[in-house]
Structure 1
């Protein structure tokens, strides 16, 4: 998935598309697609006459304010370019302030439903997509949203925007204005099968507004959009307030009914997670997703407002693929170039001790790049997956075909002796030896590196890892930096190792090229932080994006997962298979449905009078 709606749960999402339009959802050029939705694989869940998503309450009252915390900072509201502190802004401004041609349903793997486009036509070869725009769609200043705005959005973001948008634009053969309310996208042969869906999720810009405002520069000017909220008060680096658009043109669309119920949404920025938690306990904001299980279970949430019922605590299941969280080794650095060295560093992380001692035993090991889903590779490759991988046998470790990839386990004592011995043996094979208690190469140069962090809450885990590395003769230093410096260094790949989470979905696609593709390894601003350059990985990503059935998709993702795991590009950490939520006051939500991707915050409402 290229992009996901923000629900700060995605991060957590986020959020990233994949797949293609199945035969039942395709149409010959000039004929409407079947039903209201376009599914990546299979059929849409909702029929043509659906009135609202199951997780939304069409009678939800409008009103009240939802306040959330964001860890980090910002110095721009322009989320579409590389430049400035934009990571958190991308989770707030585009999905709430802007509208897109179609929108996602969150209780199925990946299906889009009408938004600005009330009808879509897709040619059987997927090279032509025609969107018919809803005549009610207008920008916040009342001006109509037209085909010219859609075309301008792609021409501008495709030439001046972020790398993933530019790469998709390069795959287009042309964009045509059929009439004021109709736009045709033409693609070059060989595109990823998900590309028509990615086009439908891109935020639509106002051509008139951006004619008077520079697109390619950071700016705190609130941009003009057509979404459910406008940008209100902005305190640079501190807070962003969104105001609900009264009589919004899209309010009664089936895919919007019962969503976006709060009159105001405020996002307060904090420098670290601990400060944000204390602010919540003091009532500074009213809705929080706790990402730390140890904080949830160690008494942090046993405060007076919980005890007397003013604060409600929820533990909710989630069934989304959690992706991969791990220490990323920058293979652009020579010390991480050898896969034996990378495997040794994987062996050195003592998850069992960390989980028991630092994390309250609440976590599962992140043993896949698609963990918590059926997309995770298991056992050894067989059948269609083996057929996919076999042509690359000479370029892959022999064990990939005969052994299941496993992560080291320990007795939880913190000694980790067996794994450290195995790591030391691999380092020796790679030419590293111990001299005067230090690991050095043949020329006597020491093996040392820095772990760069932005979030203080991960410092304990990094310190525990550094302690294990010290026993191998590796002095790993830890540097905690503020968000602007971190963004600059990570965006230019100026680091040895970072802790990162790669968000994925149940329908992964071309975003995998930005994560792991050779073409993204040297492009600033991508998420290929390890600098993966592997023709085998590239081939597996191609298989993922060209899969024409759910079965083929799963086969290709298993193969990609397996190749990445055996490449040992990251030191896998851990994940939760549930969401922890705390909130102040009387908030409502649909309780009869647990969406696949977890609770949908946009469907909540305030019961306050």
Structure 2
């Protein structure tokens, strides 16, 4: 799953500053006054001078190793292979958790939805016009080689990301007009005035690189040598495409700060790479890896009966999911003209028989997703409220009429795998869209309607034949094609596909730049963005901007619910399924504090090596 909410670097931005009305955001923060933290709607939890987060454990021991099979990643990272150690560009495949090697000016907490606090920067000062931010750097901030982090390094990093960085970085800096050092320990970031007022919440967390280190190193995906960092870990041993180890920095400059105090206990974090899930599971069963998030329901239901489970050496349990929106869905690439008709998308969605799959393959462990914001307060329910209607009515005629009724839900089949009533309706929709059946396949203007379903994991070959069979039954020439991980990422980044499955976890307060990445016309041609469906709709753009301009959390929730109604009615993203829990198995050698924080679950930061437990199981 692509996680766009790793608190480091990805809180993101929200609200369009040029549209904001009423009191300015950060109104509680006086202009020209240094402050220790910022929050989207002014609700900081931790006061100045706090020493640790409530979910951290300063008494936990340091040491040991965790061999991890990551369940989430970001930027250009890949869990099946890697061929670069530059995680901040669009191309190439980098290993997950490279972000642990770098610090940002500010960082977020895991028990708040959208707050950041000073890390490399001791304070931030907002200008009167809210377009300029002055950061005072901590004098003790150091890179791993002992050299100081200077304002020149910070300026270099921001200018580099704006010009050559991954789209997740470039988008946030689109309205940046200046990134400049003001002396050795002061850095000013300035925006045009057209930026989101909350852009700073994302921009302030970007990684800081060493200008001197990059003098002789190209900033591209050819890098198989790590850049100099300053975070809690640095790259240790690795073999490209096989494994990587991250080593804890013992003399870490930030050990006294809350971002480290009681966190990051393991001496080493190791990630091994597997081309298929079966090999990864076998490695876990043998103890070659020790922590695993399980995403295959049949494995969870039937295969956790190996000796280590029966002997109590491996624990199988569920942890509650984060309080933030997520979605797992099928993306139809509307850069292909044949997918632009909403009737076509509805017909294709009707061919997906979730009820059959859940009953026969998933052991009834999942529920059907309906929203692009599942698991959050932004899921539309029932008919629109008067507040939602106030946003939707001006768009009547430009958005599907279904957005004004009950929140759209997916068709429920009879669970047979081939519901004839629903398939007849799908065939009718295709005819209505102008596609007529000739010589077995649907055709229009001499074109045969075809879909290539692109996958990179053999699991999809097991669960998707029924979907393919139903598509072919209504006359769509549907095929599946499995490619290796590198080719898959290249094709997805360049939008060279018809249909893919994709999963995302968004921020608890989704930001403008996050929403742009997925839903806005400005990213339709931006390769490497998450606008996989090729969405370019003025009405959706308008709702994104309204959500971004919200002045309080209540207005934001209303705008997001209105956006959810329209997205569900358009059916650009065909919902798959979801679960309210993390399914996790781990070798019983770890300690951790419960309950887990509400807005993140980075076990590599939260858990620790328990020597007594490890000895008890021979680890």
| TM-score relative to the length of structure 2 | 0.92
2:256 to 252, 259, 270: 252
Aligned to 2:415: 412
1:540 matched to 2:543? The reply is yes
Q: Distance in 1 between matches of 2:208 and 2:578?
A: 34
The question of whether the paired residues in 1 share the 8 Å contact of 2:134 and 2:188 is answered with yes
- Show the 5 A alignment for 1:362-373: 362-373=365-376
Aligned residue number for residue 5 of structure 1: 6
Among 97, 112, 121, the residue aligned to 1:92: 97
Question: Does residue 428 of the first structure (1) align with residue 431 of the second (2)?
Answer: yes
Structure 1 residues 332 and 56: CA distance shift in structure 2, 3 A? same
Counterpart-to-counterpart distance in 2, 1:204 and 1:2: 20
CA distance in 2, matches of 1:312, 1:201: 35
Q: Distance in 1 between matches of 2:142 and 2:547?
A: 37
The correspondence of residues 504-523 of structure 1 with structure 2, limited to 5 A, is 504-509=506-511, 510-523=513-526
Distance 1:608 1:129 in 2: 46
Contact 2:3 2:506 in 1 (8 A): no
Displacement of 1:598 after TM fit?
4.1
What are the equivalent positions in structure 2 for 1:406-555 lying under 5 Å apart?
A: 406-441=409-444, 443-509=445-511, 510-555=513-558
Distance 2:31 2:514 in 1: 27
| Deviation string, structure 1 residues 381-422 (Cα, Å, up to 9, x no partner) | 332222222222121122221342111102222232222122
Partners in 2 of 1:231 and 1:401 — Cα distance?
52
Q: CA RMSD in A?
A: 2.1
Match of 1:172 in 2: 176
- In 1: Cα distance, 2:494 partner to 2:191 partner: 31
Is 1:77 the counterpart of 2:88? The answer is: no
Work out the CA distance in 2 between the residues paired with 1:551 and 1:369.
Answer: 19
Say if 1:118 and 1:545 are closer, same or farther in 2 by CA, change over 3 A: same
Matches within 5 A, 1:213-228: 213-228=217-232
State the shift of 1:60 in Å.
Answer: 1.0
Q: Deviations over 1:404-463 (max 9, x none)?
A: 21111022222322221221121111011233443222x453221110001222222322
How has the CA–CA distance of structure 1 residues 364 and 42 changed in structure 2, closer, same or farther, with 3 Å as cutoff? farther
Q: Counterpart of 2:19?
A: none
For structure 2, the 5+ residue unaligned runs are 16-22, 71-78, 613-619
Alignment partner, residue 48 of structure 2: 48
- Among 573, 576, 594, which residue is 1:573 paired with? 576
Give the superposition deviation at 1:93. 0.9
Deviation, structure 1 residue 250:
0.8
- Secondary structure (helix, strand or coil) at the match of 2:161 reads helix
Equivalent position of 1:17 in the other structure:
12
- Superimposed CA distance per residue, residues 27-77 of structure 1 (whole angstroms, 9 cap, x where no aligned partner): 2332123xx432222412223343322221111110001111354111000
Unpaired stretches in structure 1, ≥5 consecutive residues: 8-13
Partner in structure 2 of residue 11 of structure 1: none
Which residue matches 2:404?
Answer: 401
- Give the Cα separation in 2 of the matches to 1:98 and 1:501: 26
Equivalent residue for 1:340?
343
Q: TM-score, normalised by structure 1?
A: 0.93
In the aligned structure 2, how far is the partner of 1:395 from the partner of 1:23? Answer: 30
Equivalents in 1 of 2:584, 2:208: separation in Å? 32
Question: Who is 1:313 aligned against?
Answer: 316
Residues 477 and 592 of structure 1: CA distance in aligned 2, closer, same or farther (over 3 Å): closer
1:203 aligned residue: 207
Q: How many residue pairs end up in the alignment? A: 595
Q: Distance in 1 between matches of 2:480 and 2:227?
A: 38
Q: In 2, distance between residues paired with 1:54 and 1:593?
A: 11
Q: 2:143 aligns with which of 139, 142, 148?
A: 139
Runs of 4+ in 1 over 6 A off after TM superposition: none
